[in-house]
Structure 1
Amino acid sequence: MSLIRVTRRSTPAIRFSHPIRRRHIADARPFREHDHVLLQPLRDRTNSGVLFRGPLRPGKQIDTHKGVLNHSSIIGKRVRDVVQGEPLKSGKPAAVFRLLEVKLDDHVRFSRRLVTPIYPADANLIVSLLDLHPEVYDGEDGTAGPLLEILEAGTGHGSLTLHLSRAVHAANPPRAKASFESSDDSNAVATPPTDDADWSDRRRAIVHTIEISPRYAEHARRTVSAFRHGQYAGNIDFHVGNVSEWTRAALTERNDEAFLSHAFLDLPNADTHIADVTKALRVDGTLIVFNPSITQITECALSIKRDGIPLELDTVIELGVNGGSGGREWDVRPVIPRAARPVVQAGSETADGNPDDSAVEIDDPEKVEGTTAIEGSADTLKWSMVCRPKVGERVVGGGFLGVWKKRRT
């Protein structure tokens, strides 16, 4: 399968020069053309609001079920200002809205979607597990020192892509300006300036995101570019193709030198891609696998043991329900049951003095404390899995995260 970079569609576009501010403070400036706005009914503060998907433009209007709201009545207003729509033909008063800044979780929850996104609470948990501490860009030569490169396989909606890009944003130099492309659907998104190649070469942090579907990849690119005038789009390189093929090609370009600081896999049959991705992962780099089923996580753990992949299981976490992160930790580890152990030292006892009738966890198949050497190699041993929640009895959740760390070989 060929690997391609996602580019803008060939639809003729109208371009508008527009500066990107280094700081984006909600109350520091009024709403202006091409901004997105969140409308909250004034008399219903429990309502989280409605995201108007199109950008603001003079002469345009927003049609709501309670009346028409002209863009011109919003442009020039500030956050938390109140605007009123035109009166309804029925004689009833038009709705009154409070203008709110579009936050990242609003953008993820309300923006048009083709696939289910990783909800903000889960995305924040994943980013926190990576423990990112990018150094702020200081204007020095961008070629000095290793880059912070993160791989996301399974771009999907682009939710996690945005959260990762925001987390590493300070490591890259600011861009002077951007432009906007507008097609017939009036869905304008920010695009980088034509002389952006030099800026890309000076980046200190890059999020590589790969999607097998060109349609989903393009949709994710537009979702990312539509948020805050594309503030975080420049940190991301979008790719279309197979993650294993991309990783092998990237390693060849780098003379087989590991370059990834972290990796995240959210795709079917993730266990078949772990070996290739691990080769590109630096020592102590984090690999996170998201699967909807705990049995898929155990398949990944067993595959890593059987294939001798240099990864150590750090933790397994169950996500919560309805987009919330429960964060419940699971005890998941490969073991060799007593019946499958070929040779056990006679009289072996546990710490409490009783005979050892439990399964023995094996980190090094050639040497196990309290036993003689086990015959056979890692790929011939009959591995089983301990798989249970560390607290509670019932499994209810939206998915599972398996977190591994690359060990030194």
Structure 2
Amino acid sequence: MWKTWRAPHRASCLLHPARRTHTSDTRPFAAGDILLLRQKLDQTAPPILTRPLKSGLQLHTHKGVLNHDDIIGKRVRDVVRTAPLRSGKAGTEYRLHHVKLEEYVRLSRRLVTPIYPADANLIVDLLDLHVVPYSGNTPANDGNERLEILEAGTGHGALSLYLSRAIHAANPPPPEAPGDETVLDEWKATRRAILHTIDCSAKFSNHASSIVAAFRRGMYHANIDFHATDVSAWTAKALALRNQLPFLAHAFLDLPNADTHLGIVARALRTDGCLIVFNPSITQILDCVRRIREEGIGLEMENVLELGINGGSGGREWNVRAVKPRGKKVVDEESDDGEMAAGIVESSDGEVDGPPREEAVREESNASDDWKTICRPKVGDRIVGGGFLGIWRKRRDMRDD
């Protein structure tokens, strides 16, 4: 059986910028490339993700052995044949393919569960990123603010790849000699878009870095700064270096205790910056809602979406808001006109229910002010499994006006 591979150190994957972005059908596969193999006669067979090609290495499959030297020099959609496992048996033919990003995320070796491609695409879409492409005549300080994004909870590095791809066009090509740290640091100072990704585990952070570095010869790696630390500590230090001025365009938190980091991350967000929190449980999103209200954090809820298993639901909306009971009725905290809303619950099929079911509605009381939290799927939707995205925007601090 073939085995997943351990991605190499990033420096061995980064190539000359003129070469590393060239993946047309005319370029032969070369040492350092990774690719996907599919059986020629059995399209239903699981595909095989190779290691970075290297002369002298072999790929062992349950259908036989492939020499890397037999692949190097071939082009996309060429066919190679395995050496048979037993004499007298014919080898199996495999067709060569460029590996897509979603295939790479699913098939690359993992230490933790990745954010699946459908969910990663949704998160990038919610951030609504629009970078100004770099050109040779574009100065580093062209008057546009540097786009800086925070990702806390690097994990497998899947979302890091998708975010880096979204901002990639804004940056100049990296240096030709990436092993020279001085040259690399000088180039980093010229970047116009940066992803800061943080994980509390150095092991996970290093693994994610190697995963990002191995895809397409590391073309998206240099846009990312990897950190193994606590997100609040890192954010506080980054604010101190910037004289406490907000610098983040957006932030994404994939942490079990995300609510404890909201205050400092919100301080670092620029006005109207988007903060997305991913949690497997809706009650963890409720913790964030409570924390924002109790501590007066300058964030305004925009939406709550439910993700299905492996991205299956596509982002179903939930109704999550704070309310204050008045007898048999409640007042919505976000209501502008103070209109009273009847304290009844509609079921998912639109019919009026009696006492709400626990999985459909949750009310969280707070003894200090008697606020409660209404939490239920939008009417007409079906309850399925998966995680949740809480989406907030940074309010404008009126004291600055």
TM range (shorter): 0.7 to 0.9
Q: 8 Å contact 1:154–1:212 — kept in the other structure?
A: yes
Partners of 1:234 and 1:170 lie apart in 2 by 12
Q: 8 Å contact 1:317–1:327 — kept in the other structure?
A: yes
The structure richer in helix per residue is 2
- Once the two structures are superposed, what CA deviation does each residue of 1:218-274 show, in whole Å capped at 9, x if it has no partner? 111111111111100000011111111111111111011000000000011100000
1:281-360 mapped onto 2 (5 Å cutoff): 281-339=269-327, 357-360=328-331
Q: 8 Å contact 1:125–1:325 — kept in the other structure?
A: no
Counterpart of 1:261 in structure 2 is 249
1:361 counterpart letter in structure 2:
D
In structure 2, relative to structure 1, the CA distance for the partners of 1:51 and 1:13 (3 Å cut) is closer
Q: 8 Å contact 2:14–2:219 — kept in the other structure?
A: no
Partners of 2:101 and 2:10 lie apart in 1 by 26
- Tell me the CA shift for residue 91 of structure 1: 2.1
Counterpart of 1:223 in structure 2 is 211
Q: 8 Å contact 1:318–1:399 — kept in the other structure?
A: yes
Q: 8 Å contact 1:177–1:193 — kept in the other structure?
A: no
Q: 8 Å contact 2:10–2:210 — kept in the other structure?
A: no
Partners of 2:375 and 2:320 lie apart in 1 by 5
Partners of 1:242 and 1:236 lie apart in 2 by 17
Counterpart of 1:83 in structure 2 is 80
Equivalent residue of 2:183, what SS?
coil
1:21-170 mapped onto 2 (5 Å cutoff): 21=19, 23-52=21-50, 54-138=51-135, 139-144=137-142, 145-170=144-169
- Tell me the CA shift for residue 299 of structure 1: 1.3
Counterpart of 2:267 in structure 1 is 279
In structure 2, relative to structure 1, the CA distance for the partners of 1:201 and 1:14 (3 Å cut) is closer
Q: 8 Å contact 2:28–2:72 — kept in the other structure?
A: yes
- Once the two structures are superposed, what CA deviation does each residue of 1:72-94 show, in whole Å capped at 9, x if it has no partner? 11111111111111133242211
Residue identity (%):
55
In structure 2, relative to structure 1, the CA distance for the partners of 1:14 and 1:252 (3 Å cut) is closer
Partners of 1:337 and 1:14 lie apart in 2 by 59
Q: 8 Å contact 1:336–1:382 — kept in the other structure?
A: yes
1:4-23 mapped onto 2 (5 Å cutoff): 18-20=15-17, 21=19, 23=21
In structure 2, relative to structure 1, the CA distance for the partners of 1:136 and 1:255 (3 Å cut) is same
Instruction: Give the alignment's TM-score, normalised by structure 1.
Output: 0.83
- Once the two structures are superposed, what CA deviation does each residue of 1:126-148 show, in whole Å capped at 9, x if it has no partner? 00000000111134321333110
Counterpart of 2:240 in structure 1 is 252
In structure 2, relative to structure 1, the CA distance for the partners of 1:92 and 1:391 (3 Å cut) is farther
- Once the two structures are superposed, what CA deviation does each residue of 1:16-49 show, in whole Å capped at 9, x if it has no partner? 9942336433313110111011110111113351
1:30 counterpart letter in structure 2:
P
- Tell me the CA shift for residue 306 of structure 1: 1.2
Equivalent residue of 2:309, what SS?
coil
1:33 counterpart letter in structure 2:
A
Q: 8 Å contact 2:20–2:217 — kept in the other structure?
A: no
Q: 8 Å contact 2:114–2:158 — kept in the other structure?
A: yes
Partners of 1:13 and 1:174 lie apart in 2 by 16
Counterpart of 1:173 in structure 2 is 172
In structure 2, relative to structure 1, the CA distance for the partners of 1:282 and 1:221 (3 Å cut) is same
Q: 8 Å contact 1:122–1:325 — kept in the other structure?
A: no
- Once the two structures are superposed, what CA deviation does each residue of 1:198-223 show, in whole Å capped at 9, x if it has no partner? 21111000000010011111111111
Partners of 2:301 and 2:168 lie apart in 1 by 29
Counterpart of 1:403 in structure 2 is 391
Where does the alignment leave 5 or more consecutive residues of structure 1 unmatched?
Answer: 1-10, 180-190, 340-356, 372-377
Matched, 1:369 2:368: no
2:22 counterpart letter in structure 1:
H
- Once the two structures are superposed, what CA deviation does each residue of 1:332-378 show, in whole Å capped at 9, x if it has no partner? 11111124xxxxxxxxxxxxxxxxx53111248xx86369xxxxxx9
Partners of 1:12 and 1:395 lie apart in 2 by 43
- Indicate the larger mover: 128-137 or 64-73: 64-73
Q: 8 Å contact 2:152–2:255 — kept in the other structure?
A: yes
Matched, 1:383 2:371: yes
1:175-194 mapped onto 2 (5 Å cutoff): 175-177=174-176
- Tell me the CA shift for residue 395 of structure 1: 2.6
In structure 2, relative to structure 1, the CA distance for the partners of 1:15 and 1:263 (3 Å cut) is closer
Partners of 2:14 and 2:279 lie apart in 1 by 42
Partners of 1:161 and 1:80 lie apart in 2 by 29
- Indicate the larger mover: 57-66 or 39-48: 39-48
- Indicate the larger mover: 388-397 or 289-298: 388-397
Q: 8 Å contact 2:298–2:395 — kept in the other structure?
A: yes
2:170 counterpart letter in structure 1:
A
- Tell me the CA shift for residue 107 of structure 1: 1.3
Q: 8 Å contact 1:114–1:216 — kept in the other structure?
A: yes
